[in-house]
């Protein structure tokens, strides 16, 4: 079966392509390389022995997208990753985010409807829960007003799937990721942040390798045991495997629902200081860090209830925080300082 993966050379996309190919699926990637590099395809081939078909297409280019779909007659399902994802950047450039994430997805869905492709896996985020009233968050927890244009584009994407599935044959699985980190054991693929990283783990590994001078912990005066924010860090390979299971469930027609939502996290919350401690433990390095002030927009704590994904998808996160830190560090050493 052939699966279209948009954003397939990106961080989560590339790991998912590896798991799909390892599970026997044929993959065609669409990516505009705006936040990834073409060499990722070489490394996917090194890991799996199979080179995915690749098309450099921007989903906002509706003409190029239509041309692509005209030539494709055997796509069984789509996994949609292609999107901008930097929270702070989205606040500064909201229209860029609405254009890329929303227009791109509309163009894609239009083509799927035309082609009669019915199965869609959507990359969403725990950001839709905002500051949750009750922890852990279940899929029934209320969706809160978005804190950023990025977060709002994820909510719009989810809503488009509900609305479209009400009037078409589309079936979708919405996957709400918690905090993806780690890298493939081969160290051939991983996260490639452009510029100064926003996210904690790439900032830690870049500091440890000497690319950044010092990590700043964004506040230690929160109402948590050690005063720093709590997140549910999830290994990217575990996350990638969940996509394969979600896809299988749809293709096997195992669900009665047209739209299903799953949280993808470990169910465990770790503070920023616990992440640093884990990194220091597995690498034997001392990390240069200081305590700074709070970052605006950060929720205090969030972690997932994983029961639904465990029971319905049969998916369990297998890799712990130490494993995430070790593979992130191995990846950083592989790509080096520059």
Pick between residue 8 and residue 269 the one whose CB is nearest to ligand UFG.
269
Pick between residue 43 and residue 123 the one whose CB is nearest to ligand UFG.
123
Confirm whether 150 is a catalytic residue. yes
Shortest spacing between CB 220 and ligand UFG, in angstroms: 9
Query: Which parts of the chain fold into alpha helices (H)?
Result: 11-22, 40-48, 62-71, 87-92, 94-97, 104-115, 149-167, 200-208, 236-251, 272-283, 307-308, 321-335
Indicate the burial class of 311 (C-beta count within 10 angstroms; 0-12, 13-18, 19 or more): exposed
How far is it, in rounded angstroms, from Cα 110 to Cα 160? 11
Out of 90, 229, 304, 306, the residue judged to bind ligand UFG by CB under 6 A: 229
Out of 28, 112, 200, 250, the residue judged to bind ligand UFG by CB under 6 A: 200
Phi/psi-derived region of residue 284, left when phi > 0, alpha when psi is between -120 and 50, beta in every other case: left
Does position 304 interact with ligand UFG (CB under 6 A)? The reply is no
Classify the C-alpha dihedral 253-15-21-119 as positive or negative.
positive
Give residue number: closest CB to ligand UFG.
229
Pick between residue 251 and residue 299 the one whose CB is nearest to ligand UFG.
299
* CB-based contacts of 66, cutoff 8 Å, min separation 6: 111
Shortest spacing between CB 243 and ligand UFG, in angstroms: 17
Contact 15/188 with Cβ under 8 angstroms? no
Does position 215 interact with ligand UFG (CB under 6 A)? The reply is yes
Does position 217 interact with ligand UFG (CB under 6 A)? The reply is yes
CB atoms closer than 10 angstroms to residue 256: 6
Pick between residue 87 and residue 237 the one whose CB is nearest to ligand UFG.
87
Shortest spacing between CB 222 and ligand UFG, in angstroms: 8
Does position 218 interact with ligand UFG (CB under 6 A)? The reply is yes
Cα atoms found within 13 Å of the Cα of residue 54, Cβ hemisphere only: 23
Q: Which residue is catalytic, options 150, 177, 203, 222?
A: 150
Shortest spacing between CB 229 and ligand UFG, in angstroms: 3
Does position 295 interact with ligand UFG (CB under 6 A)? The reply is yes
Q: Is the omega angle on the peptide bond into residue 136 within 30 degrees of 0, that is, cis?
A: yes
Q: Which stretch binds ligand UFG (CB under 6 A): 22-30, 58-66, 156-164, 213-221?
A: 213-221
Site for ligand UFG in 66-95 (CB under 6 A): 85, 87
Contact 122/175 with Cβ under 8 angstroms? yes
**Residues in binding contact with ligand UFG, number by CB under 6 A:** 21
Out of 198, 224, 255, 258, the residue judged to bind ligand UFG by CB under 6 A: 198
Token pair in block for residue 64? 């190029």
Can you name the residues that pair with 262 across neighbouring β-strands? 175
Q: Which residues are catalytic?
A: 150
Residues binding ligand UFG (CB under 6 A): 85, 87, 125-127, 151, 179, 198-200, 203, 215-218, 229, 231, 272, 295, 298-299
């Amino acid at each position: 079966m052939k699966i279209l993966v948009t954003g397939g050379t990106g961080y989560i996309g590339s790991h998912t392509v590896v798991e799909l190919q390892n599970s026997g699926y044929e993959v065609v990637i669409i990516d505009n390389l705006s936040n990834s590099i073409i060499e990722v395809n070489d490394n996917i081939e090194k890991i799996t022995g199979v080179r995915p078909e690749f098309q450099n297409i921007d989903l906002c280019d509706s003409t190029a997208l239509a041309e692509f779909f005209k030539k494709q007659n055997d796509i069984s399902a789509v996994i949609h990753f292609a999107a901008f994802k930097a929270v702070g950047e989205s606040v500064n450039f909201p229209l860029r985010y609405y254009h890329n994430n929303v227009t791109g997805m509309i163009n894609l869905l239009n083509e799927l409807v035309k082609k009669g492709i019915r199965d869609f896996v959507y990359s969403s985020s725990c950001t839709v829960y905002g500051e949750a009233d009750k922890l852990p968050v279940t899929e029934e927890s209320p969706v809160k007003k978005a804190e950023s244009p990025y977060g709002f584009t994820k909510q719009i994407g989810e809503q488009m799937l509900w609305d479209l599935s009400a009037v078409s044959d589309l079936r979708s699985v919405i996957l709400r990721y918690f905090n993806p980190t780690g890298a493939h054991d081969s160290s051939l693929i991983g996260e490639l942040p452009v510029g100064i990283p926003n996210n904690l783990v790439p900032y830690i590994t870049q500091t440890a390798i000497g690319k950044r001078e010092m990590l700043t912990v964004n506040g230690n005066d929160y109402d948590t045991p050690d005063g720093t924010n709590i997140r549910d860090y999830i290994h990217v390979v575990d996350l990638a495997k969940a996509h394969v299971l979600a896809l299988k469930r749809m293709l096997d027609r195992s669900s009665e629902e047209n739209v299903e939502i799953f949280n993808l996290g470990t169910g465990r919350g770790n503070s920023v200081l616990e992440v640093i401690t884990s990194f220091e433990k597995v690498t034997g390095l001392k990390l240069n860090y200081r305590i700074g002030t709070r970052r605006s927009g950060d929720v205090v704590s969030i972690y997932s209830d994983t029961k639904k994904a465990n029971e319905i998808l049969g998916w369990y996160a297998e890799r712990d925080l130490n494993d995430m830190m070790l593979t992130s560090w191995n990846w950083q050493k592989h790509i080096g300082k520059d």
